Amino acid sequence: MTFLMLSFPERVEVFRRHFERDLPEVPFVSDAAAVDPLDVRYLMTWSFPDQLETLYPNLELIFSVGAGIDQVVGKPIPPKARLVRMVESGLTTLMRDYVVMSVLALHRRLPAYIDQQRRGEWKNLPFQWADQRRVGVLGLGELGLASLEALRPFGFQLSGWSRSPKEIEGVHCHHGADGLAQMLAQTDILICLLPLTPETKGILNADLFARLPKGAALVQIGRGAHMDQDALLAALDSGHLDAAFVDVTVPEPLPADHPLWSHPKVILTPHVAGHTRADSAAEATVANMRLHLAGLDPKGLVDPARGY
C-alpha cells in the first residue's frame, strides 16, 4: 500500500521524515519509476498524471498538495479512489493574512493613494469608518471562516455566501441565487474564496460586478478561472468599481502587455496569497492517513458531484 508523492524535493523530504517517524507502516516513495504502479494506493501531487484510472488502478486516495482539487475533478480516476484537498493550518493562515491585508488596504483606499503618489498629488480622499463598511465573502469553507474571524475585530459589517445554508455568529449568511443577489447589493468589499467548479467558473463577470454598489472593491484570491478579467477592467474603467486586489489570473503569469499589470486601480500579486507549509501539511496528511486506515473519512474529502 505505497504512498507516492510527486512534488518538489524539499517538500518531499519533509513529508518523508514525517511518514518515517509517524507512519512507518506505509511505504513512502517519491520516484514513480521506482515503484510498481499496482502497489500505489495513495498519490499526492499538484499536477496529476494523465490516465490515472489505468496508470494507478488500485488508488484509494488522491491527495492534492494545495487547497484546490479542480485540476483532477471530473477526470477519469480508479473506481475506488477518492479525492482529498489539502486542509492545513499554514495555508489557512497565509490566506487569512492576505484577506486582512487587502481588505484594510481597500478600506483605506491604498490603490488610489499609490496612484496619487506616482503622480505627485497630495490630496485627502473621502473615507468610511470600519463599522460603515460592508465586507462580503464568497465561499464559507475553512478559508472563508478563518478570514471572517480575522476581520471581526475591525468592526466591519460582515456577510457571507455559500451554496447551502450556514449560520455563523456575527455574520449575515446568504445562500443560493437569491441570497447571492441580496449580498452583492449590500457589499462594499467582495472577497472571492470559492472553489472552482462548473457552477463557479466565470462567476466574477460583468453581471456580478453590476450588482455591486457603485464604488465597491474586489479581492480575487479564488482561482483565475472565476473571473472575466475584461469585465473587471471595464468595471474599473467605468468607475463602477473603485479598486481590486488580484492574486490569481488566466493565464499565469500574465503576458507582459496585459493591462492588469499597469492599471492604477489594481494591486496585482503573482499567486502568493496562500502556500502549503510543508511541516503542517505533512502532519495533516499523516493524520488523514490514520483516519483512512481506521475506516474513517479523511478531512478535506471532496464530493465529486459538487467538485469540493
Per the residue annotation, which of 16, 240, 271, 290 is the catalytic one?
271
* Contact by Cβ (8 Å): 99, 83: no
If you count them, how many residues does the chain have? 308
Predicted pLDDT of residue 71: 84
- pTM, two decimals, is 0.92
d(CA 243, CA 60): 45
Predicted pLDDT of residue 305: 74
Q: What is the mean pLDDT of residues 98-123?
A: 98
To the query of whether residue 306 is one of the catalytic residues in this protein, the response is no
d(CA 260, CA 268): 7
pLDDT tens digit string along 193-239?
999 999 999 999 999 999 999 999 999 999 999 999 999 999 999 99
pLDDT tens digit string along 124-151?
999 999 999 999 999 999 999 999 999 9
pLDDT tens digit string along 152-190?
999 999 999 999 999 999 999 999 999 999 999 999 999
Predicted pLDDT of residue 306: 79
Predicted pLDDT of residue 251: 97
Per the residue annotation, which of 41, 107, 109, 223 is the catalytic one?
223
The structural domains of the chain, ordered by start, are: 2-88+276-293 (3.40.50.720), 90-268 (3.40.50.720)
- What is the rounded radius of gyration, in angstroms, for the C-alpha atoms of the chain? 21
Residue in 220, 278, 187, 194 with CA at minimum distance from that of residue 99: 220
Predicted pLDDT of residue 224: 96
Predicted pLDDT of residue 304: 77
Phi-psi domain of 286 (left: phi exceeds 0; alpha: psi -120 through 50; beta: other): alpha
To the query of whether residue 271 is one of the catalytic residues in this protein, the response is yes
Strand, helix or coil for residue 137: strand
pLDDT tens digit string along 236-287?
999 999 999 999 999 999 999 999 999 999 999 999 999 899 999 999 999 9
